[in-house]
Structure 1
Amino acid sequence: MNPNERTSALFTDLYEITMARAYLEEGRTGLAVFETFFRRLPKNRGYVVAAGLEDVLDFLEDFHFEPDELEWLAGLGAYPRHFLERLGQLRFDGDVWAVPEGTVVFPYEPIVQIIAPIHVAQLLETYVLNQIHFQSVIATKAARMVDAARGRTLVEFGARRAHGTDAAIKAVRASYLAGFDGTSNVLAARHYGIPPFGTMAHSYVQSHGSEARAFEVFARLFKGTTLLVDTYDTLRAVDEVVALARRMG
């Protein structure tokens, strides 16, 4: 996944394109106002931290259909040439109003408001909801963890459990926005300028004859590192790390 890669205007639901055609065929191209908000919160949740606006703005700034994308749509047999030609000319020239990322928001409070010709605004709905929803969920959970940590260091390590590479990258940004200190994800660290963090893996410990040997080699190579103590026997490993720390001073 390339964080700089353009998101295609085809990242929408088919019915958005179908409705855009209907609007144009009816001659309805006046301004419409679309707002992103949520109606309720899960139990024991008091707020949402807004996130995802930067990606929405990047998408709007470069919103257009490529010729090969229009040809693919033509192959569906549902859209006449005159409509596809109109799609090829579309650019976003509307207005965007939004709360700053990191803002605490509540039910029914608009997070993003888009004002644009209705056939254009309709095409944007899927992407806007996709970005604002996911990143706000992550930012909110991260903010709750920051509150609970009370000043302790928090690092995002979620790439291997994320729903794909794009979600992993966006989760890094959302968690950092909410107060995390860094990430284990090297690509995201480089792309966003976020401090990278690392520890060691169980496989490294397993590759040595003993935990004590693995700890000593790693600690001598990387000063001030973090050692995993739960590969085999956690309490015994803790004792080994304490003994190692005393030997190394």
Structure 2
Amino acid sequence: MDIHELTLLTDLYELTMMQGYFKCQNNETVIFDVFYRENPSGSSYAITCGLAQMIDYIKNLSFSYEDIDYLRSLHIFDEDFLEYLAGYHFTGDIYAIPEGSIVFPMEPLVKVKAPMMEAQLIETAILNIINHQSLIATKASRVVYAAGGSGVMEFGLRRAQGPDAGTYGARAAVIGGCDGTSNVLAGKMFDIPVLGTHAHSWIMSFEDEYTAFRTYANFYPDTCLLLVDTYDTLRSGVPNAIRVFQELHDAGQKPKTYGIRLDSGDLAYLTKKARKMLDEAGFQDAIISASGDLDENLIASLRHQGAPITSWGVGTKLITSSDCPAFGGVYKLAASKKNGETEFTPKIKISENPAKITNPGDKTIYRIYDKATGKIRGDLICLTTETYDPACDLTIFDPLATWKKSTITGGSYELRELLIPIFVKGQCVYELPSVMETRSYCQEELNTLWDESRRLLNPQNVYVDLSEPLYQLKNQLLDQKHKTTEGRNK
């Protein structure tokens, strides 16, 4: 999909609400927060991703003549509103946590501060972009962690839910830690490594397996990774691969990368046997790569069984995040300010489910790091008017179980504000790093998690607390709503 043609990538009700605001002459300045409530895939964290595409979307957000003609054809929009849309451009402010950052539930990943009509229009596209790419980046980080920290190739394009999901998903997977992708378009668009070998059809197109291997090695002597499970892995595939490697060696050819790949069967058993055969033939440095419906749990199990696999090809279950197909980010109103007013009025959404009650006001996030280890102690969501001095003691508490408190000694911790300006008055002020730079940053971020929070099963959650002023504001608004409801019911 052309990034320059995403203006109508929105839900119809965003436009009908916009027309309602337009007719009511209600274009007060508002603050919307993008956040999620639950970590995906049983993780204790997520990785925020998609900021680059969101920036492109906002920069190119305008209604073409064709867009206006289409909306006119729906017979639900008046000409004065369509005229307004024809001159639309974003004029607000956007803050966001940089791509590749570790994030936790209820934290604003993106904060939009703009006139109501402008803020309303961009809701759907921002959620679509941030939700999908954050989901895949998080899944990739778990897969890479299970694989020991490296050696994972993303190659799920043919199983992705469409070209965009496959291409932007590949980008997110590399940010999450994958070494590269099989997706050539993603390689071109994002300047990321493209990797791959050959399919079973290559083997089957020749009269015999050895000839297929030998021909492939002749064409690609520097990257000779041979798929050995087309017929019989141990009786045919591995012996024929060894024969080709020996011929290359005898001819004085030393591939930069060489080895075998298995895509089926008992990967633990077969790779152990294959490793022994390769070693006995003198090819101790040959790679053993595995693929075939892998995910982080199967990879962890294979490594636990001692499978000597050093390279992993992960497709379907990564690019679709098959165990958790949706990220669940939401876009909620947090504050508003009428024209002429100087202060924002905090807004709160109430629910019988405490987890769905929103945090009101104009907020920011401070990450608390242990000074001695560099590890995350917790995150503090607070109002933008608050200031903190790391030289002073800091008491944090669980906003749902307030008796759970912890005081961090002054001088033993460091603070970092997570939300940074991306757009100011409609102009982008943020310089995007490359995908590979973002990948390196993401690895640094992951290293700030304690080991207990990175384990795949039952990880220790990281504390995300509300500041005392924000906690009091939230409860004050809840009390006000309760009293208003009581009064109406009398």
TM norm structure 2: 0.49
Q: CA deviation at 1:16?
A: 0.5
Q: CA deviation at 1:19?
A: 0.3
In the alignment, residue 69 of structure 1 is paired with which amino acid?
A: D
Give 3-state SS (helix, strand or coil) of 2:139's partner: helix
Q: Which residue of 1 aligns with 2:211?
A: 213
Once residues 84 and 38 of structure 2 are traced to their aligned partners in structure 1, the CA distance between those partners, rounded to angstroms, is 38
Q: Do the aligned partners of residues 66 and 97 (structure 1) sit closer, same or farther apart at CA in structure 2, a change above 3 Å counting?
A: same
Q: Which residue of 2 aligns with 1:65?
A: 63
Q: Which residue of 2 aligns with 1:244?
A: 244
Give 3-state SS (helix, strand or coil) of 2:122's partner: helix
Q: Do the aligned partners of residues 143 and 78 (structure 1) sit closer, same or farther apart at CA in structure 2, a change above 3 Å counting?
A: same
Once residues 208 and 149 of structure 2 are traced to their aligned partners in structure 1, the CA distance between those partners, rounded to angstroms, is 35
Q: CA deviation at 1:201?
A: 1.0
Once residues 42 and 9 of structure 2 are traced to their aligned partners in structure 1, the CA distance between those partners, rounded to angstroms, is 34
Q: CA deviation at 1:44?
A: 2.8
C-alpha offsets along residues 57-88 of structure 1, whole Å, 9 cap, x if unaligned?
Answer: 11111111111111111111101100100111
Once residues 41 and 64 of structure 2 are traced to their aligned partners in structure 1, the CA distance between those partners, rounded to angstroms, is 44
Q: Which residue of 2 aligns with 1:184?
A: 182
Q: CA deviation at 1:243?
A: 2.8
Contact 1:185 1:196 in 2 (8 A): yes
**Which has the larger strand fraction?**
2
Once residues 125 and 133 of structure 2 are traced to their aligned partners in structure 1, the CA distance between those partners, rounded to angstroms, is 12
Equivalent runs, 1:140-219 vs 2, <5 Å: 140-219=138-217
Whether 1:15 aligns to 2:30 is no
Q: CA deviation at 1:235?
A: 2.1
Q: Which residue of 2 aligns with 1:117?
A: 115
- Which one of 84, 89, 99 corresponds to residue 91 of structure 1? 89
Q: CA deviation at 1:145?
A: 1.6
Structure 1 gaps, min length 5: none
C-alpha offsets along residues 143-172 of structure 1, whole Å, 9 cap, x if unaligned?
Answer: 112212224322111111111111111011
Q: Which residue of 1 aligns with 2:224?
A: 225
Once residues 245 and 161 of structure 1 are traced to their aligned partners in structure 2, the CA distance between those partners, rounded to angstroms, is 33
Q: CA deviation at 1:197?
A: 1.2
Q: CA deviation at 1:142?
A: 0.8
In the alignment, residue 234 of structure 1 is paired with which amino acid?
A: T
Once residues 37 and 150 of structure 2 are traced to their aligned partners in structure 1, the CA distance between those partners, rounded to angstroms, is 33
- Which one of 12, 29, 32 corresponds to residue 31 of structure 1? 29
Q: CA deviation at 1:42?
A: 4.4
Q: Which residue of 1 aligns with 2:264?
A: none
Q: Do the aligned partners of residues 100 and 43 (structure 1) sit closer, same or farther apart at CA in structure 2, a change above 3 Å counting?
A: closer
Q: CA deviation at 1:43?
A: 6.0
Q: Do the aligned partners of residues 43 and 163 (structure 1) sit closer, same or farther apart at CA in structure 2, a change above 3 Å counting?
A: closer
Once residues 43 and 131 of structure 1 are traced to their aligned partners in structure 2, the CA distance between those partners, rounded to angstroms, is 19
Name the count of aligned residue pairs: 247
Q: Which residue of 2 aligns with 1:44?
A: 42
Q: CA deviation at 1:133?
A: 0.5
Q: Which residue of 1 aligns with 2:438?
A: none
Give 3-state SS (helix, strand or coil) of 1:173's partner: helix
Identity of aligned residues (%): 42
Q: Do the aligned partners of residues 174 and 221 (structure 1) sit closer, same or farther apart at CA in structure 2, a change above 3 Å counting?
A: same
Larger radius of gyration: 2
Give 3-state SS (helix, strand or coil) of 2:94's partner: strand
C-alpha offsets along residues 178-214 of structure 1, whole Å, 9 cap, x if unaligned?
Answer: 2211111111111111111120111111101111111
Q: CA deviation at 1:217?
A: 1.0
Contact 1:40 1:107 in 2 (8 A): yes
Q: CA deviation at 1:247?
A: 3.0
Give 3-state SS (helix, strand or coil) of 2:174's partner: helix
C-alpha offsets along residues 14-60 of structure 1, whole Å, 9 cap, x if unaligned?
Answer: 01100000111111101111111111124631111000011111111
Q: CA deviation at 1:7?
A: 2.9
Give 3-state SS (helix, strand or coil) of 1:143's partner: helix
**Which has the larger helix fraction?**
1
Contact 1:8 1:65 in 2 (8 A): no
Give 3-state SS (helix, strand or coil) of 2:100's partner: coil
Give 3-state SS (helix, strand or coil) of 1:227's partner: strand
**Larger mean Cα displacement after TM superposition, 84-93 or 235-244:** 235-244
RMSD: 1.4
In the alignment, residue 75 of structure 1 is paired with which amino acid?
A: S
Once residues 42 and 164 of structure 1 are traced to their aligned partners in structure 2, the CA distance between those partners, rounded to angstroms, is 21
Q: CA deviation at 1:220?
A: 2.0
Once residues 129 and 30 of structure 1 are traced to their aligned partners in structure 2, the CA distance between those partners, rounded to angstroms, is 22
In the alignment, residue 167 of structure 1 is paired with which amino acid?
A: A
Structure 2 gaps, min length 5: 250-490
Contact 2:63 2:86 in 1 (8 A): yes
Once residues 116 and 244 of structure 2 are traced to their aligned partners in structure 1, the CA distance between those partners, rounded to angstroms, is 67
